Amino acid sequence: MWAALADPTRRSLLDELSRNGPLSATELAPHYPVSRQAVVKHLAALSGAGLLAAERHGRDVRYRVVPERLDGAAAWLADVGARWDARLAALRARLEAG
């Protein structure tokens, strides 16, 4: 999942789909400076990471975000952030104490 999210185009696609999805690669491609085929490859990487679900509608494949996949990552990031906040608060207190 982290490898899929490392690419800025993929993060942008995920954001777009979370706001306006489900959408097809054809609907997404005009908004990006890459080819439709490149968008399809990015969508496949996000799908492979479990971040998107693909649903066929006739000839189109529409992609939607699977938000549950991000829950664990968000919880982990919140935990790491809280630990750093505690460390920084302890350092600040020590520095202010002199």
The tens place of each residue's pLDDT in the chain, 98 residues long, gives: 999 999 999 999 999 999 998 999 999 999 999 999 999 999 999 999 999 999 998 999 999 999 998 898 889 999 999 999 999 999 999 999 97
**Domain residues for 96?**
67-98
Whole-number pLDDT of residue 98 = 79
* Domain identity same for 28 and 58: yes
Whole-number pLDDT of residue 79 = 94
* Domain identity same for 53 and 87: no
* Domain identity same for 19 and 49: yes
* Domain identity same for 93 and 61: no
* Domain identity same for 94 and 57: no
Q: What's the domain count of the chain? A: 2
Whole-number pLDDT of residue 72 = 85
Judge if pTM exceeds 0.85. no
* Domain identity same for 48 and 85: no
* Domain identity same for 24 and 53: yes
Q: Which amino acid is residue 31, in one-letter code?
A: H
Reported as half-sphere exposure (CB side, CA atoms, 13 A), residue 88 has a value of 6
Residue 14: count other Cβ atoms within 10 Å of its Cβ: 23
